[in-house]
Structure 1
Amino acid sequence: MTRLQVVKHRRKLYLFHNRELLKEYEVHLGNTAIGPKQFSGDGKTPEGAYYIDRRNPRSSFHLSIGISYPNPNDVAFAQEQGRDPGGDIFIHGDRRPQDPQGKDWTAGCIAVTDDQMEEIYAMVRLGTPIDLHA
């Protein structure tokens, strides 16, 4: 089974088949990368267990695959705070304004190079689990 893992403090995305590591990618994260995503506009990348729930071949960011954030727990937490949990979190290509290399710049998504996104898009299907760790 294919699965994805993101380790935010390492700025890495790992692609596994069962227990075998197939590929490792450097990533850019949300512009406020420390801490889990909780609310719309917080600039954070989610942390937790999710799955790939959509594919977008016409993405403004080359190609993209959607992450199932928010889950019911994320929604419940945000509602308890009287806030919107946000959404539209993707792994996508690197179409960004000119920023210094290495800077996190997304609104909460995970960005890789366009070439890497083509590899990921070809290997990852709907329902693929993704675990995002601090």
Structure 2
Amino acid sequence: MTTNFPRRVFILSGLAAFLSGCADKFRTYNGPKVTRLRMYKAQRLLVLDGKAGVLRTFPIGLGFAPQGHKQFEGDGRTPEGTYVIDRRNPDSLFHLSIGISYPNAADIAFAESQGKSPGGDIFIHGGPRKGIDPMNKRDWTAGCIAVTDRQIEEIYAMVKNGTPIDIYA
């Protein structure tokens, strides 16, 4: 029995090391470059395009008021239009997140003409953390684009800052 003890310890240590490696939220991606993201709000679909066509698609959730273009801070809408992935947050409350360059100059000008703030901090991010109770399972964010934690890990690895994103109604 004592001859099997070191072997069991070795096997269990190896298994623990393997599983801890699987838990890492930072993945690597060595495939074709993502050249553009397309998001279709009505279909709740995010498409990652490369030079040769579609690389990946993901189902998404939206802001709690999903119809219409985001105009003002707190309206619960997800923007529509052309933006750019402009930042990353590895310490997001929502696992990981990548930022969208909303508001653009037109968004700011419109909101200011109405005497309001356009809002900001629009991200593609993972699911809600413990203690955050989504209003419903599909569209629960304050205007962001939600995917699962595993999906944001893929997206975070694949999509680089500067990648354009087109958001369609």
Query: The TM-score by the shorter chain falls in which range?
Result: over 0.9
Structure 1 stretch displaced more, 13-22 or 124-133: 13-22
Following TM superposition, by how much is the alpha carbon of 1:7 offset from its aligned partner in structure 2, in angstroms?
0.3
Structure 2 unaligned residues grouped into runs of 5+: 1-33
Task: Name segments (4+ residues, structure 1) moved above 6 Å.
Answer: none
Aligned pair 1:33/2:42, yes or no?
A: no
Give TM-score scaled by structure 1 length: 0.95
Alignment of 1:74-85 (within 5 A): 74-85=107-118
Structure 2 distance, partners of 1:131, 1:98, is 26
In structure 2, the residue matched to 1:17 is 50
Greater strand proportion: 1
Alpha-carbon distance change, 76 to 121 in structure 1, aligned in 2, over 3 angstroms: same
Following TM superposition, by how much is the alpha carbon of 1:98 offset from its aligned partner in structure 2, in angstroms?
5.6
Q: Is the 8 A contact 1:3 1:18 kept in 2?
A: no
1:108-133, CA deviations, whole angstroms, 9 ceiling, x for partnerless residues? 00000000000000011110000000
1:24-75, CA deviations, whole angstroms, 9 ceiling, x for partnerless residues? 1000000000000000000000000000010011100000000000000000
Alignment of 1:47-86 (within 5 A): 47-86=80-119
In structure 1, the residue matched to 2:133 is 97
- Which amino acid counterpart does residue 115 of structure 1 have in structure 2? R
Structure 2 distance, partners of 1:100, 1:126, is 30
Question: With CA pairs under 8 Å and 6+ residues apart, which has the higher RCO, 1 or 2?
Answer: 1
- Which amino acid counterpart does residue 97 of structure 1 have in structure 2? D
In structure 1, the residue matched to 2:159 is 124
Structure 2 distance, partners of 1:19, 1:34, is 31
Structure 1 unaligned residues grouped into runs of 5+: none
Structure 2 distance, partners of 1:46, 1:100, is 20
Following TM superposition, by how much is the alpha carbon of 1:2 offset from its aligned partner in structure 2, in angstroms?
1.7
Matched length: 133
Q: Secondary structure at the match of 1:115?
A: helix
Alpha-carbon RMSD: 1.2
Following TM superposition, by how much is the alpha carbon of 1:100 offset from its aligned partner in structure 2, in angstroms?
4.6
Greater helix proportion: 2
- Provide the identity percentage: 60
1:7-33, CA deviations, whole angstroms, 9 ceiling, x for partnerless residues? 000000000002510111000000000
